[in-house]
Amino acid sequence: MNLELFIPEMSLAAFAIAVILLDFFVQRKGVLAVISLLGLVVSAGFTIAMWGGSPQAIFNDMLAVDSFALFFKLLFLGIAALVILASVDYAHKLAHFQGEYYALVLLSTLGMMLMAATTELISIYVALELTSISLYVLVGFLKDPKSTEASLKYLLLGAIASAVLLYGMALVFGFSGKTQLGQIHGAIAATSSTDIMANPGLILGIVLLIAGFGFKVAAVPFHMWVPDVYEGAPTPITAYLSVGSKAAGFAIILRVFSSAFGLPEWLSLNWGLIFAVLAAIGMTVGNVAALPQTNIKRMLGYSSIAQAGYLMVGLATVGIAPAAAVLGRSGVLFFLAGYAVANLGAFIAIIAISNKLDSDLIQDFSGMIKRAPVLALALSLSLISLIGMPPAAGFMAKFYIFSGAVQYGLLWLVIIAVLNSVISAYYYLRVVKVMWFGEPASETKVPSSGALRLALFLACLAVLLLGIIPGYIMNLAEAAARMFIF
């Protein structure tokens, strides 16, 4: 069974249980954050040790251990570590539930790691629900009216999306008689295009899969939950949702559509065009809706919808490019890494500022460069990266993903994306303008813990490194993009 290949997940689950048990005995709840971080480090160590090995499948071909899965596992573990570090400043709002909070972050990370590795429909659904249920609870953790409303909306809409996804899986299973992605691929390859078109169950199943996964990555038109959930959730969880959940969703989309529906070419071309249309609409809706926002968390919520649109440019490239091409997939992986560190950097700075101001309104960030110059600089750098300006990671991420799209005939989509990037500059730079040129409401400094400053430093350092010397992560992304088990 090769259980040693499952050690990263088992170790993380063990630490999650340990955090819950220790919560009964320790008085200083900061210890729980340390144990959680230790669990992430141990799991990351086991994951790194597996890098470079030959691709393998475990648990009856339900989980893949390949470079693609390992890349995402390290990304999820890094995201969770930064979120936990940033949560230390938020601990006073978590009352007596810090053990449950940190354990749920670890369990949702475990679900994301499984999502990146699953190669079978049933295990995909189980991993996705493990992640989703943990996040439903975390969104409502503040227990105030906004947080409760956000959690309820997320739960109800998530349940509908899960039902749509499950029905799509059932249709694909009904057509192929298989649940393993490689076997579904074989069943489709053995069926003529005439027979596929005569039996529309497969096509409808693929459409429903796009809808179900689209909810998880906050893509238009499945984005209606995003603004309220982002505003109502605890700010560290908003950050976690905006990058972790989105990265997990794109990981499973890439694996499912590349492994099961990558051939025949006419099929991949059609779902590639669907993603292209969704990308164009998503970028435009997200950026235009973000323009009038006065709450910074809602603004970044609409921004994440637009970012999902940019990522879908990569998915469209994957569908339209030849099956052996890796440029589209590696572009999505690099973009996700660059977006994760930039968005986390922005939210970590917002956590510190909002804790002091007790407000998420953009106008209250006025003159922040005088009250908290380090936080203002970090937030400005992160927002510049989200625009896609050099020397930050966002510039290389967009260049990488857009160049792949142009190479495979999606110039029209890249033009729309570039125009949308210009639109996004308005609302991102508006925040920078308020912080740098506005008058501060008071001269009081904005305090932050050492843990939060460490998280902010790591995120900003990654933003600069991925923008200035992106070659190493690009090479890892390309290696990961080649490693699909069929």
Two structure tokens written together for 68? 């693609």
Two structure tokens written together for 42? 């141990």
The answer to whether 471 and 334 have CB atoms below 8 angstroms apart is no
pLDDT at 449: 82
The answer to whether 368 and 440 have CB atoms below 8 angstroms apart is yes
275 has a pLDDT exceeding 50: yes
pLDDT at 191: 81
Of the ranges 185-194, 226-235, 476-485, which one carries the lowest mean pLDDT score?
476-485
Residue whose entry in the numeric block shows the structure tokens 């305090």: 447
CA 140, CA 145: separation in Å to the nearest integer? 9
Any residues with CB less than 8 A from the CB of 260 and at least 6 apart, and which? 172, 181, 182, 184, 185, 188
Q: Which run of H or of E encompasses 7? A: helix 7-22
pLDDT at 146: 85
pLDDT at 95: 67
131 has a pLDDT exceeding 60: yes
CA 285, CA 304: separation in Å to the nearest integer? 11
pLDDT at 458: 93
Rounded to 5 degrees, φ, ψ at 327 are -60, -40
pLDDT at 485: 41
CA 263, CA 269: separation in Å to the nearest integer? 9
125 has a pLDDT exceeding 50: yes
DSSP 363: G
pLDDT at 1: 57
Amino acid identity, residue 92?
Answer: H
In tens, the pLDDT along 299-312 reads 999 999 999 999 99
Torsional class of 388: left (φ above 0), alpha (ψ -120 to 50), beta (otherwise): left
194 has a pLDDT exceeding 90: no
In tens, the pLDDT along 427-449 reads 999 999 999 988 887 778 888 88
DSSP 24: T
pLDDT higher at 2 or 85 = 85
State mean pLDDT over 145-163.
89
Rounded to 5 degrees, φ, ψ at 482 are -85, -10
pLDDT at 486: 40
In tens, the pLDDT along 279-290 reads 999 999 999 999
Mean residue pLDDT across the chain: 89
pLDDT higher at 301 or 321 = 301
Two structure tokens written together for 60? 């009856």
CA 72, CA 477: separation in Å to the nearest integer? 10
Query: Residue 420's closest CA among 253, 308, 329, 293?
Result: 308
Angle formed by the axes of helices 296-320 and 393-407, nearest 10° = 30
The answer to whether 242 and 386 have CB atoms below 8 angstroms apart is no
What is the longest distance spanned by two Cα atoms in the chain? 72
CA 280, CA 274: separation in Å to the nearest integer? 10
Torsional class of 366: left (φ above 0), alpha (ψ -120 to 50), beta (otherwise): beta
CA 192, CA 201: separation in Å to the nearest integer? 14
The answer to whether 373 and 444 have CB atoms below 8 angstroms apart is no
CA 393, CA 461: separation in Å to the nearest integer? 10
Any residues with CB less than 8 A from the CB of 263 and at least 6 apart, and which? 185, 188, 189, 323
Q: Is 444 helix (H, G, I), strand (E, B) or coil?
A: coil
Q: Residue 381 — pLDDT band, cuts 50, 70, 90? A: very high
